[in-house]
Amino acid sequence: MLLLAAAFIVAFVLLLYMVSPLISPKPLALPGAHVVVTGGSSGIGKCIAIECYKQGAFITLVARDENKLLQAKKEIEKHSINDKQVVLCISVDVSQDYGQVENVIKQAQEKLGPVDMLVNCAGTSVSGKFEDLEINYFERLMNINYLGSVYPSRAVITTMKERRMGRIVFVSSQAGQLGLFGFTAYSSSKFALRGLAEALQMEVKPYNIYITIAYPPDTDTPGFAEEKKTKPLETQLISETSSLCKPEQVAKQIVKDATQGNFNSSIGSDGYMLSSLTCGMSPVTSITEGLQQIVTMGLFRTIALFYLGSFDSIIRRCMIQKAKSETVDKTA
């Protein structure tokens, strides 16, 4: 009986591997490709642009501040591998007006040809307790992190579908896989990207277009330095569970996953566990990935329960600490 079950499982796995070419996309060749990176003037976005440029791509950088854009352009151009490569800069706020964003994409396509890969990396974060966050932050983060990814994607999708090729990357966050203390506004805007990515992937897969959603942990960037200034202690302590990454490292992983057409892009062992644990109904891009999810889910849920327990105790300890220092203040 046991033997029969084992034989059945082996046959099943073999069958899966036989159909695997059907679900594994052909990698995108970066040499000569046109890659648009929003938020390409700083941090992770800039490193993604450098990584693509090093592999021979033509780059369009999109962000608001023109000086930062020019600075980044100079830095990226140091990594050229041939004298035909171009870095184009366009200044626009991706979160404001769809018409503006559509124009910018048109300009970029006129100069450097149709977009082969769009990386939506413009984004920002604010942390604080739900009742302390100014109410307009909830709108602002949705505008920048969510709509700021919808607009550029919407502007490139028709041409991608016509050409039967393309890649679109959304940069979410580990805080887009689990909601955590201090991130009521940020986490929701990053979770929204997951819904967008899944729905869009289902629509565009028959057109040979592949979507990647990346979930980086804390990454050492100018944006992160800014965020640290106002981060609640609880958020900081919980976030430290996951290690601090270098933007170059995160960028390399994202570019690799995007060119290969992987739906999920994560980094590190906690990134791997989180992605496996939260895979839900997201598409798989390889049989190995699917099998790993099936086998590890129960184990990772068990580990997750311990993490959740430790997060609760961090929050409780912070509360006690605060209460203590308040009574000291009163008696002083």
Ligand X SMILES: NC(=O)C1=CN([C@@H]2O[C@H](COP(=O)(O)OP(=O)(O)OC[C@H]3O[C@@H](n4cnc5c(N)ncnc54)[C@H](OP(=O)(O)O)[C@@H]3O)[C@@H](O)[C@H]2O)C=CC1
- Write down how long the chain is: 332
Are 275 and 289 in contact by the 8 Å Cβ rule? The answer is no
Shortest Cβ 323–ligand VSD spacing (Å): 26
Which of ligand X, ligand VSD, none interacts with 189 (beta carbon under 5 to 8 A by kind)? none
d(CA 61, CA 111): 13
Binding site partner of 144, from ligand VSD, ligand X, none, Cβ cut-off 5-8 A by kind: ligand X
Give 114 or 268: the residue with its C-beta nearer to ligand VSD: 268
Binding site for ligand VSD (CB under 6 A): 125, 173-175, 180, 217-218, 223-224, 227, 239, 241-242, 270, 273-274, 277, 300, 303-304, 307
Selected catalytic residue, list 190, 231, 242, 265: 190
Instruction: State how far the Cα of 208 lies from the Cα of 163, in Å rounded to an integer.
Output: 9
Q: Report what 95 binds from ligand VSD, ligand X, none; CB cut-off 5-8 Å by kind.
A: ligand X
Could you say which of ligand X, ligand VSD, none residue 63 binds, taking C-beta under 5 to 8 angstroms by partner kind? ligand X
Catalytic residue among 41, 95, 149, 172: 172
Residue nearest to ligand VSD (CB): 173
Residue 31 to residue 178: CA distance in whole angstroms: 36
Q: Looking up tokens 């302390």, which residue turns up?
A: 132
Q: Which of 51, 116, 218, 289 binds ligand X (CB under 6 A)?
A: 218
Beta-strand runs (E) in the chain: 34-38, 58-63, 87-91, 117-120, 166-171, 209-214, 264-265
The β-bridge partners of 258 are: none
Which CB sits closer to ligand X, 169 or 277? 169
Integer Cα distance of 162 and 292 in angstroms: 35
For residue 297, give both structure tokens.
């889910």
Q: Give the footprint of ligand X on this chain (CB under 6 A).
A: 38-39, 41-45, 63-65, 68, 93-95, 121-125, 144-145, 148, 171, 173, 216, 218-219, 221-224
